Chain A
Amino acid sequence: MLNWSHFIYFAVVAVICWTAGAYLSFRERKTGAVYAWTILGLAVFFSFIVGLWISFERPPLRTMGETRLWYSFFLPFAGLITFVRWKYKWILCFSTLMSTVFICVNLFKPEIHSKTLMPALQSPWFAPHVIVYMFCYAMLGAAFVMAVYLLCCRKDKDVTREMLLTDNLVSVGLAFMTFGMLLGALWAKEAWGHYWAWDPKETWAAITWLCYLIYIHLRLKQDADRRVILYVLVIAFCCLQMCWWGINYLPSAQGVSVHTYNME
């Protein structure tokens, strides 16, 4: 029967495959090989999850460690989908790195295998919700870097191409954010009985979402000042930070959020 002591073998093989995929994604005309390596890694990793599922006789969703397992799986998965569609060269590096971080957490902190989740978090909605948000952060973080770069270093030159890239990053990021938010709503309905309760995290998610919508709509017309548009992106990213971890320190949010366990 498979158990956690076998994890390292599967993890090492999977990370090697994903690294190969990420490396090849920087080479021209190697797309087929990129897909093949990444999918192979996913297959190896997923076989461990299935093995654990069979030997536990339940889906591995119950402990912190088991949830990290799904993170490690879905990160390269979402990375692959994004790569297939947009061919960002950095995306597979990002997803491999993040996935490896969670694998290391599982390898070096085995005590989290027994650290249990509160029953409401033992849900198949949890991991997808978190993964999609991580991708959203990656995209919108990249868009933020672009905005700062354009604001500070490229004052007068023609930046049409860079703006289009930023648009693309924001749209992909916003798509992920919308997905994450709605998955969160569906899950909240299953677990707590209501899909949207305007608790602090949800309120800040709504603000952040609106900010990015404003950016997208501003870009539909030519008349707005480019600097104003870029500042919207900077403000939006600040709101995102607030939503992500800032509210844990916000006095008005203490003790009322059902989401503050995210601190763990």
Chain B
Amino acid sequence: MWKRPWTYLEGAVIGAGLVATGEILQLSVGEVAWNLFAYPLNVLLAAVFVSAIILAFVVRKRVYFFRWCATVQAAIPIMVWCAVLTLVMGLSGWMSMLRWWPLVLCYTFMMFVLGMTCLKRLRPFSFAFMLNHGGLFVALLAGTLGNADVQKLRMEVRVGRPEWRAIDESDNSIKELELAVELHSFTIDEYPAKLMLVDNETGKAVPAGKPEQIVIEGSVTGGMLMDWEIEADSCMEMAAQVTDGENKVKYVEWKNMGATTAAHVTAKQRETGEMKEGWVSCGSFMFPYHALKLDERYSLVMPEREPKRFASDVTVYTKAGTVKDAVIEVNKPLEIDGWKIYQLSYDETMGRWSDTSVFELVRDPWLGWVYAGIFMMLGGAICMFVSAGRKGSEQKETLKTSESC
């Protein structure tokens, strides 16, 4: 060992040394406190790291270790170490491993090797190589060091009450922002109502594991559920529960806050010919849900309607004077002043009548760098697709590669 040229073995031992050093650090200073790396410390650290790589590269002729760092013999063992430590995390599900010094040191050394390799491969320059390796370097560096600058806030806004305060998710403190959000309206579009049977004893939908259901939509108003032929003769999207003269529950059209969906159904047991009729409703925050008992075994129910689209109609104001009207939906965040505002949730106890919208506000000043890295790697992947397996092995010169299989 340690006879030049160094091989995978030396690389593996260096990795083991990093793990041991990391464990000592873990025991002495405690876990890696990522949140300490907030701006400007992370910028400084990135500068120091990159300068160190450049410096190491400059003196590589005199220091064998640095020369060795830019070889495959250095790259593979540290990649194996990183894979193994990540595997431990994958198997144990122990997320705070991301703050475990051995893991952090191994990834840092992998980045060092990666950086050295990039510099070495400036000549002869290869576009594909630089996109793959440089992209990974940039994305990893910006992703890890930038993490402490990521702000994630939760903001609850009620209709008509502009809000400029939000809760920081990392420590549950309240922050005042440079922007305010005014909610004009919050709407939930729901999928059409469904009908299904539940077992009276277990309360579970039947058949167990693969529940059948009827979707009441447009011209489709009936179908078979187990042995029951179901037909909904009227379905109201907006209804209120009322009690008639004989103390029987029924539903009437009612277009107001708190309305529920209700259907009047007739059910016929195919074998016995038994008939049942009555109302079913999924309920709302004002009205209880309403099931129709068919026989000893089954009841007909209308499960809560699933949301199809949540949308918040908002105006956002910033201190700088920008005013922006927008509709924020899931997958359609609003971007303003470096913030991205995501639709997160709403007042679930009110369901579709919620007048509160919950947003997540995310700010990630390093995102541009991460994206630059990601897009470089996407380019690199295309290059790799085009030239797959053509380079590398020296033996390939002797054989034609693109023979079909």
Contact = CB atoms under 8 A, between A and B. Distances in A.
Interface of A: 62, 85-90, 114, 116, 119-120, 122-123, 160-161, 163-165, 167-172, 174-176, 178-179, 182, 185-186, 189-196, 198, 200, 203-204, 206-207, 210-211, 213-214, 216-224, 239, 242, 250-253, 256
Given A116-B191, A119-B308, A195 B370 contact: yes
Interface residues on B, range: 35 or more
B386 A85 contact: yes
Given A175-B385, A182-B381, A220-B392, A86 B402 contact: yes
B48 interface: no
A146 to B, nearest CB: 9
24 contacts: A85-B386, A116-B306, A119-B310, A120-B331, A122-B330, A164-B389, A164-B393, A165-B405, A167-B389, A171-B388, A172-B384, A193-B333, A198-B89, A200-B93, A207-B86, A210-B86, A214-B79, A219-B393, A221-B72, A222-B394, A223-B7, A252-B91, A252-B92, A252-B93
A88 B405 contact: yes
A189 B363 CA distance: 12
Given A164-B399, A214-B83, A217-B76, A88 B91 contact: no
B393 A119 contact: no
A95 to B, nearest CB: 16
Interface in B389-405: 389, 392-396, 398-399, 401-405
Contacts of B405: 88-90, 165
B360 to A, nearest CB: 6
B396 to A, nearest CB: 6
B175 interface: no
Give the 10 A-B residue pairs with the shortest CB-CB distance, closest first.
A252-B93, A171-B388, A168-B389, A119-B330, A167-B389, A175-B385, A210-B83, A178-B381, A175-B384, A193-B362
A214 B331 contact: no
A193 B402 contact: no
A172 B86 CA distance: 24
Contacts of A224: 8
Interface string B66-109: 00000011011001101100110111111100100000000000
A209 to B, nearest CB: 9
A171 B381 contact: no
Interface in B189-227: 191-192, 215, 217
B308 A193 contact: no
Interface in B293-349: 306-310, 329-331, 333, 340, 342
